Amino acid sequence: MRFRSTLERRNTVTITSNSAPCTKRRITLRTPGYVDGVSVELPVVVVTGASPGKKLVVVATQHGREVNGPAAVYRALQNLNPEEMTGEIIFFPVANPPCIRMQVQDFPMDRNRALKTGPEHNPMNLNRQWPGDPDGSLPQRIAHAIWNAGLQDADCVLDLHCWGATTTALAWGQQEAEPFVTAFGFPWFQVHDRKAAQPGMLESACAEQGIPCVVCEMTPQNVVAPEMVEHGRRGILNLASHLGILPGSPEHPHPRYQIDQGTAISAVQRLVSSMTATCQSGSGFHAAANPLPPTHESYFDPSMLKMKW
């Protein structure tokens, strides 16, 4: 099924009220007002099934060097047939367009990332500004536009990120979201309590509203890694199946390893991959972890922005 040929541009707080059954729609969502002369248009794709049902929201590219997320969204969209769906999936494939154009994590510059992580110390970090402020900074206005357009009544939110190449890829969620984290099917996952999340993060805002949120940090940054993209694509479809939006059950073709909350998650991949199946109980892993080495398909090129969402 093809996308509708015309783009809709909206400043309103909801983007789904006019969704016809069995459609894929491309929408451009604008942030409220201007900050220092800057306003942002956000690409949105709404896939509506044949009948009403649950809503899944997928957010990618909160930070500009995290390009495996939008690639996974692009692949997942190719697998979705609205006629086979019940409910709705809303994609925000590029949540921070200025950052991905500049290939920086935060707009207008990376700042204070090695210091404290609270929102007051990271005013440019979009993932410390949720649920946003319509009269605040540009990141706060982006968060507000996305939150009010589709997140606040979601049945599940998937937040796709990318860590650096020396960090083990990981998916996680809070205890209330454990069934969704498990269904997502990422090879390495973690379930933690609410204290582990920083204020202003998307998962924290979702938790305050009782919305299950799955966070996935793929690897690496600035590089499209086919293995990570495939994990992300399958994870999106798995969550849709878990919610009943897609028929069937989640697919888990790879072994999965749960990492205890108290275990450091910034270990270098080569150290983790050296572990064997004889990993002792209580060592931090519930089974041996053997991350797939990323096969670098290509370094990120801004032409990726030309994807027809």
d(CA 170, CA 185): 11
Structural domain includes residue 80: yes
DSSP label of 102:
H
pLDDT tens per residue, the chain (309 residues)?
Answer: 333 433 444 444 456 556 799 999 999 999 988 888 888 999 999 999 999 999 999 999 999 999 999 999 999 999 999 999 999 999 999 999 998 888 888 876 666 555 555 555 668 899 999 999 999 999 999 999 999 998 989 999 999 999 887 778 999 999 999 999 999 999 999 998 876 678 899 999 999 999 999 999 999 999 999 999 999 999 999 999 999 999 999 999 989 999 887 664 444 343 444 443 333 334 444 433 333 334 444 444 444 444 554
For the beta carbon of residue 277, count every other beta carbon within 10 angstroms: 8
Structural domain includes residue 246: yes
Q: CATH no. for residue 95?
A: 3.40.630.10
Strand order in the sheet with 86-92: 8-10, 23-30, 41-48, 86-92, 51-60, 156-162, 213-218, 170-174, 188-192, 257-258
Structural domain includes residue 257: yes
DSSP label of 149:
I
Structural domain includes residue 272: yes
256 in Cβ contact with 226 (< 8 Å): no
Structural domain includes residue 219: yes
CA–chain centroid gap for 199, Å, is 18
Structural domain includes residue 18: yes
Structural domain includes residue 1: no
Owning domain of residue 207: 8-306
Number of independent structural domains in the chain: 1
pTM of the full structure: 0.82
d(CA 47, CA 20): 10
Structural domain includes residue 243: yes
